Amino acid sequence: MKMLADRIRDFGLLREIKAEHVLISLLTLVAYLALVVFRSLDDNKLTSWHWVFLGMDPNKLLLVLVIGIIAAYLFSKASLPERYSAPFLFISSFIIAAIFWRMPEVVVDTSRYFTQAKHLEVYGIGYFFREWGQSIVAWTDLPLIPFLYGLIFKFLGESRLYIQIFTTLLFSATVVLTYRIGETLWGEDIGLFGGLLLLGIPYIFTQIPLMLVDIPTMFFFTLAIFTFIKALDQGGAGMIIISAISIFLAFFSKYSTWLMLSVLAVIFIVYFIEERRQGRMLIERLFLFGQVRQRKILYRGVAVVLISASLIGTMVFLKLGIISEQIELLVSYQQPGLKRWGESFYSTFFFQIHPFLTLAALYSAYAALKKKDLRYAIISWLVLLVFLLQIERIRYIIMVFPMLALMASYGLQEIRDRDLRKFVALCAIVSSLTVAVFAYYPFLQRMSTVNLKSAGEYLNSIGAEDIEVFTVLSKDFIEVNPAVSVSILDLFSNQNITYRYNHPSPPWEKIQTSSLRFTWDYKNPQYYTFNNNLKENTMVVVISGAEDEVLPNKIAQRLKDYRLLKVFKTSVGIFRHQTLVKVYQPM
């Protein structure tokens, strides 16, 4: 190894290379190859390496990865913009995430959030709050994120691009907040590397472009942690109020945040104990200074809790019946369902998160214990909860990723050479981006849901104004109600959609334990109400689960004076649920 490093030193820009750089480079390649070899262990439900590399040669990515490693080495020799760390992290993460905006909506849950948001756009803010959980089916969703999406639709326009800009801005803001938390707790280096390492999670890039709630929830949850730390540390009425509002927003982002907000208690305990220790050292010189600081921490914490509890309590009181029903559904259906729909920790922490992050995070526990660093409990608590409660579903723990990145950053600090630390972090990032851009992205572009995107864009390109949509229930797969595809088509199209929902619910035993049971709670929104006065040139769109699906008589009769104009039938051939789209034009 030393001889190899000595030879490489003779080459111009690489003359300063060390044996450690060679070792890290080899480990980066070995990590990728090992994951490829053992990819059958990845049971992720969306981007399993076992599926992603079907039909493509994983070795082709090796050249890209080698180029990335060389680039990582060169960047590791450059000075990071410490004076402008926040803008650097924000802009670079935004540009990287924007690469994935052409992805289709690959998770059917999008239909729920789009439908809820469109109700606000069409009927107004007052209607949204009155009817959320009533005529607006809320399933197990909380209202904040659909409300924000609805505001975007109402005031900016019903465009997916606006949603993607919004979610990407929130992701980039989360990267900055991760940096700020690390900087506040330990200093610039841990914060900066923590923000960078959030880009070492390939799975996260598949979620940023989607109209879901997970990325916004991660932002509001991280914001709640940061502002609470600041409220305890600095005090002040303004910061206390901001912290309380942030907690309120995180609380109504997603139900899984409720348990995770227990980290606020950990933060309070850590700060309170630290002030007590400081007071013991200073009490003889500064009398009751330490006790005064303790009281300040107590008062600030209590003030934040009281204000946030008042805000949360008011909202819960107004929607108590709906929230109670949702919690009952979570306990009776969602919680036991996790065992059926779960994904192994091997998948999450080695395939979907770069192994360098996981290993550095594991080592950080030893480093913190050795230093007796009480503040480490703040960033490790959430990851500990994931393992203690066996939360084996990656989408449910996305909000924990910033703390995992800070743990990895904390562990990397044990490498004394800062340039070497940068090289490790950059190798993790380029490796993750290589997989996300050249493996995940093409795979997701071939999923059958891309047909809804392609059909919507096609209808826009030919200037169609009104379309009538029909959905055909597949005989082979009835776990998914095809009606939910209408709202996803609507997201990509500019036309006025008419849709008449008429699918009977399947037998209860067929869908009782399905992860897609929510699709059968579908209610046809009023804005799709069937119009008997359709124009003669109205286009007809048929959404089905197979190209040769036999059309019911009513649809066949409707199409008797129509000709088939375009078929969208892209499919990876893996998932049972397929979405094919046919566009018909009057003869």
| Spatial separation of the C-alpha atoms in residues 397 and 320, rounded to whole Å | 26
Cα 460 from chain centroid (whole Å) = 29
- Measured CA to CA, the distance from residue 214 to residue 394 in angstroms comes to 10
Structure confidence at residue 283 (pLDDT): 47
Question: Which structure tokens are listed for 272?
Answer: 């309170």
In whole angstroms, give the CA distance from residue 423 to residue 430. Answer: 10
> Tell me: the pLDDT tens digits for 223-279?
999 999 999 999 999 999 999 999 999 999 999 999 999 999 999 999 999 877 665
Interacting residues of 29 by C-beta distance below 8 A, sequence separation 6+: 62, 65, 66, 69
Question: What sign does the dihedral 265-266-267-272 (CA atoms) show?
Answer: positive
Report the pLDDT value the prediction gives residue 82, as an integer from 0 to 100.
73
Q: What is the DSSP letter of 159?
A: -
- Other CB atoms within 10 Å distance of the CB of residue 420: 16
- Band of pLDDT at residue 327, cut at 50, 70 and 90: very high
The widest CA-to-CA distance across the chain, in whole angstroms, is: 94
Give me the residues paired with residue 467 across strands: 497, 539
How long, in residues, is the chain? 587
DSSP secondary structure of 481-497: -GGGHHHHHHHH--SEE
Q: 45 is written with which tokens?
A: 């439900």
* Amino acid at position 442, single letter: P
For the chain, helix, strand, coil in percent to 5 are 65, 5, 30
Confidence of residue 530 (pLDDT cuts 50, 70, 90): confident
The pLDDT value given to residue 514: 87
Task: Go through 307-346 and write b for each residue having 16 or more CB atoms within 10 A of its CB, e for each that does not.
Answer: bbeebbeebeeebeeebeebeeeeeebbeebbeeebbeee
Q: How far is residue 275's CA from residue 374's CA, in Å, rounded to a whole number?
A: 12
Query: What's the pLDDT band for 562 if we cut at 50, 70, 90?
Result: very high
**Under a CB-based contact definition with an 8 Å cutoff, are residues 108 and 519 in contact?**
yes
Distance from C-alpha of 485 to C-alpha of 481, rounded to nearest angstrom: 8
pLDDT for 99 beyond 80: yes
Q: How confident is the model at residue 3 (pLDDT cuts 50, 70, 90)?
A: very low
pLDDT digits (tens, 9 = 90+) for 164-211: 999 999 999 999 999 999 999 999 999 999 999 999 999 999 999 999
- Angstrom distance (rounded) from CA 305 to CA 178: 23
> Tens digits of per-residue pLDDT, 101-131?
999 999 999 999 999 999 999 999 999 999 9
Model pTM score: 0.94
Here the tokens at position 567 are 């078929």
pLDDT in the model for residue 341: 83
Angle 289-318/214-234 helices, nearest 10 degrees?
A: 150
* pLDDT score, position 532: 66
Cβ neighbors of 318 (< 8 A, separation 6 or more) are: none
Q: How far apart are CA 108 and CA 110, in angstroms?
A: 5
Q: Are strands 580-586 and 562-568 parallel, antiparallel or unpaired?
A: antiparallel
